[in-house]
């Protein structure tokens, strides 16, 4: 006996190592993988080690109940969950936690799509201005099929690829789905009389 009997081979003639023999494939949804990943992230300062995302606030509805909601229910030990009653209040609570923890730890906030996502904007602005970490996980429309009209999404009627969750992003959408021009990118203002199309007003 050469010690390889009963060990499955990986490739022609190559025996599997003990580590490979112990490994197995784990099938996860994106939300389940996200919860596992966040549960394994830590920060450390002055010898103090804390979880990066200590808990998740949420109001479940269209766009998040079947994804992140399922993952949080399946792994309560990995990610504590706080049930909220108002999306804006949840973000403010997460901002307060980040401030109290000296930015070493943060909370995540998940909401449904539509008004639930837009309610995050004020709290997101507060966190941005004060440089406080908050993880926002707004729901979104289906990627593989049309969702109208049951999901309360606030899409622009001429831009189906611009849902209300883009309000939490760095810039709004235009009809083509691209970033809108910034106000300071417009041509400079010219005083009266400097252009033939804008005559100087009479005194």
Question: 121-129 vs 87-100: helix axis angle to the nearest 10?
Answer: 20
pLDDT class for 65, splitting at 50, 70, 90? Answer: confident
Q: Ranked by mean pLDDT, which of 65-79, 95-109, 175-189 comes out on top?
A: 95-109
Please answer whether residues 60 and 72 qualify as being in contact, where contact means their C-beta atoms are separated by less than 8 angstroms: no
Q: Which residue has the higher pLDDT, 118 or 44?
A: 44
**What CA–CA distances, in Å, run from 101 to 3, 14, 61, 173?**
54, 51, 30, 35
pLDDT band at 56 (very low <50, low <70, confident <90, very high): very high
- Top-confidence range, 72-86, 112-126, 147-161: 72-86
Residue 33 has pLDDT above 60, yes or no: yes
Confidence band (pLDDT; 50, 70, 90) for 95?
very high
- Parallel, antiparallel, or unpaired for β 42-45 and 48-51? antiparallel
Total-model pTM: 0.68
What is the per-residue pLDDT for 16?
A: 65
pLDDT at residue 57 greater than cutoff 90: yes
**What span, in angstroms and rounded, lies between the C-alpha atoms of 99 and 86?**
20
pLDDT at 158: 63
User: Which pLDDT score, from 0 to 100, does residue 63 have?
Assistant: 79
At 153-200, the pLDDT tens digits run 666 666 656 666 666 766 555 444 444 444 444 444 444 444 455 555
Three-state helix/strand/coil letters over the chain: CCCCCCCCECCCCCECCHHHHHCCCCCCCHHHHHHHHHHCCEEEECCEEEECEEEEEECCCCCCHHHHHHHHHHCCCCCCEEECCCHHHHHHHHHHHHHHCCCCCEEEEEECCCHHHHCCHHHHHHHHHCCCCCEEEECCCCCCCCCCCCCCCCCECCECCCCHHHHHCCCCECCCCCECCCHHHCCCCCCCCCECCECCCCC
What is the model's pLDDT at position 185? 43
Stretch 44-59: mean pLDDT, rounded? 94
Residue 34 half-sphere exposure toward CB, CA atoms < 13 A: 16
Mean pLDDT of 97-107: 95
């Amino acid at each position: 006996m050469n010690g390889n009997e009963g060990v499955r081979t990986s490739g022609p003639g190559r025996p599997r190592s003990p580590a490979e023999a112990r490994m197995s494939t784990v099938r996860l949804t994106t939300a389940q993988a996200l919860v596992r990943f966040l549960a394994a992230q830590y920060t450390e300062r002055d010898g103090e080690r804390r979880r990066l995302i200590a808990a998740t606030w949420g109001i479940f509805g269209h766009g998040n109940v079947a994804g992140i909601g399922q993952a949080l229910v399946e792994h309560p030990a990995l990610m504590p969950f706080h049930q909220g009653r108002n999306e804006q209040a949840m973000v403010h609570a997460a901002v307060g936690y980040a401030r109290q923890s000296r930015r070493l730890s943060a909370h995540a906030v998940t909401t449904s799509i539509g008004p639930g996502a837009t309610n995050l904007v004020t709290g997101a602005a507060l966190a941005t201005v004060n440089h406080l970490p908050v993880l926002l996980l707004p729901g979104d429309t289906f990627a593989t099929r049309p969702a109208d009209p049951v999901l309360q999404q606030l899409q622009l009627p001429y831009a189906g690829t611009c849902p209300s969750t883009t309000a939490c992003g760095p810039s709004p959408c235009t009809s083509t789905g691209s970033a809108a021009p910034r106000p300071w990118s417009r041509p400079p203002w010219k005083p009266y009389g400097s252009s033939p199309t804008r005559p100087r007003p009479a005194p």
